[in-house]
Amino acid sequence: MTLAWQSVDFPGGKVSYTSEMSFISESSQTRVPCYRVLEDDGDLISDCDFQQVSKEVAVKMYSNMVTLQIMDNIFYEAQRQGRISFYLTSAGEEAISIASAAALSEQDIILPQYREPGVLLWRGFTLQEFADQCFGNKADYGKGRQMPIHYGSKKHNFFTISSPIATQLPQAAGIAYSLKMDNKKACVVSYIGDGGTSEGDFHAGLNFAAVMEAPVIFFCRNNGWAISTNVSEQFRSDGIVVKGRAYGIRSIRVDGNDALAVYSAVSAAREMAINEQRPILIEALTYRVGHHSTSDDSTKYRQLDEIVYWKKARDPVNRFRNWVQNIGWWSEQQETQLRNSVRKQLLEAIQVAEKTEKPPLSELFTDVYDHPPSNLEEQEKHLRETVTIHPKDYPSDISV
């Protein structure tokens, strides 16, 4: 008697029976291919499937990528000079944040990790606003409470960055579900690094979004390293893209150093997320050219020639520049003017940020409780007394 026609009507759909004991393979024979549009030299791949981009958008994308690159270099040096306490660059990953932002609407809500300042840059966050946050002055929207690079902007629908890894993913699923309930024509985009997929919140966020059919794009930057932990020591699966199917989520793997490929993939993902009310998982293969942060020396755990290869042969900024220049949308003169202008603006912004007064001590104890509890009032009193007794141990420009 054959079992081929027999099945059980199990919750979630019918499941066929089989008399053959067969385990599902731990991996497929071939790896999931990586979608790309541009060759490493910036030439367009023939007969490729991609979203057309206008001259205006392409030039803005490239200009923002250059701006982000210069901003990273100058702020990194400022930290090394002791002018700010911490910094973290997007070196080698500029295409991811800029190109994905270009494919989104201003109404789409962003929950970042910490390597997405390009999204804010695209949406109009100024160099002065970046500088004010890094220097923690009175103009900083976080009132100096956060570490540098923990940006946030309600105006630009950009949730404030928080250091704990992957906590933003379940939040993104919930926010996306609220957009669904309100019939909004928008989606949520939550960014995460490959290391973050080892956190429980990654799995909780994806499962929640899938079950609730929430319009959210989970964008994973797989740059090969979770600080000093290589991806080979994080998981045995074929990267991140295959994890989506386990949760019933449509997924794609894209070349994260190809701005046109990222733009096209996110454009398509956004359309599906909103029109079909479903989550989408994007895995972008890229490489962290810089150190994890100013607290890290990546030459201690990876080969220098590996870094140099990705920096020179696979640089996303040079690749996209070659493309816009080859089609006549960019010139050497524009390049020189842009770089000189951005550098000048940024140095001026840093000078202003350094001279701007720090937030008063009282701001450390506000915006949580309507009426501060007694233990918090006691802490504030003790802090003021400590500053008064040891004034040399605290910045002189802080108002007590």
Query: Running along the chain, 400 residues long, what does each successive block of 10 average in pLDDT?
Result: 70 86 87 97 95 97 98 98 97 98 98 97 98 97 95 98 96 98 98 96 98 98 95 93 96 98 98 98 97 96 96 96 98 98 98 95 91 95 93 81
Domain membership flag for residue 20: no
Residues labelled catalytic = 77, 163, 292-293
> Residue 15 falls within a domain, yes or no?
no
Same domain? For 328 and 369 the reply is no
Residues 267 and 369 in one domain: no
Note whether 180 and 220 are same-domain residues.
yes
CA dist 84 and 174 (Å) reads 35
Query: What does DSSP say about strands 13-16 and 109-111: parallel, antiparallel, or unpaired?
Result: unpaired
| Total of domains in the chain | 2
At residue 213, what are phi and psi to the nearest 5 degrees?
A: 50, 55
162 plus 224 within the same structural domain: yes
Residue 386 shares a structural domain with residue 299: no
Determine the Cα–Cα distance for residues 114 and 290; give it in Å rounded to an integer.
14
Kindly state whether residues 207 and 308 are assigned to the same domain. yes
Residue 77 lies in a domain: yes
Residue 3 lies in a domain: no
How far apart CA 288 and CA 238 sit, in angstroms, is 19
Q: Report how far residue 163's alpha carbon sits from residue 181's, in angstroms, rounded to the nearest whole number.
A: 29
Mapped onto helix, strand or coil, the DSSP state of residue 16 is strand
Statement to judge: residues 287 and 383 lie in one domain: no
Please choose, from the candidates 271, 276, 262, 375, the residue with its C-alpha nearest in 3D space to the C-alpha of residue 320. 262
Do residues 282 and 379 both lie within one domain? no
- Any domain includes 385: yes
Tell me: do 301 and 371 sit in the same domain.
no
Rg, Å, the chain Cα set: 24
How remote is the C-alpha of 24 from its chain's centroid?
34
End-to-end CA distance of the chain: 86
Render the burial of 171-198: b for 16+ CB within 10 Å, e for the rest: bbbbbbbebbeeeeebbbbbbbbbbbbb
Range of the structural domain that residue 130 is part of:
55-355
Query: Is 306 in the same domain as 372?
Result: no
Residue 26: inside a domain: no
Same domain, 201 and 67: yes
Query: Which pLDDT does position 2 carry in this prediction?
Result: 55
The structure's pTM equals 0.94
Which residue(s) pair with 111 in the sheet?
190
- Confidence (pLDDT) at 63: 98
Taking alpha carbons only, the member of 392, 335, 388, 343 closest to residue 361 is 388
Same domain, 313 and 372: no
Nearest to 252 by CA among 260, 242, 238: 242
Residue 232 lies in a domain: yes
Q: Which CATH number do you get for residue 151? A: 3.40.50.970
> What span, in angstroms and rounded, lies between the C-alpha atoms of 21 and 18?
8
Question: For position 191, what pLDDT does the model report?
Answer: 98
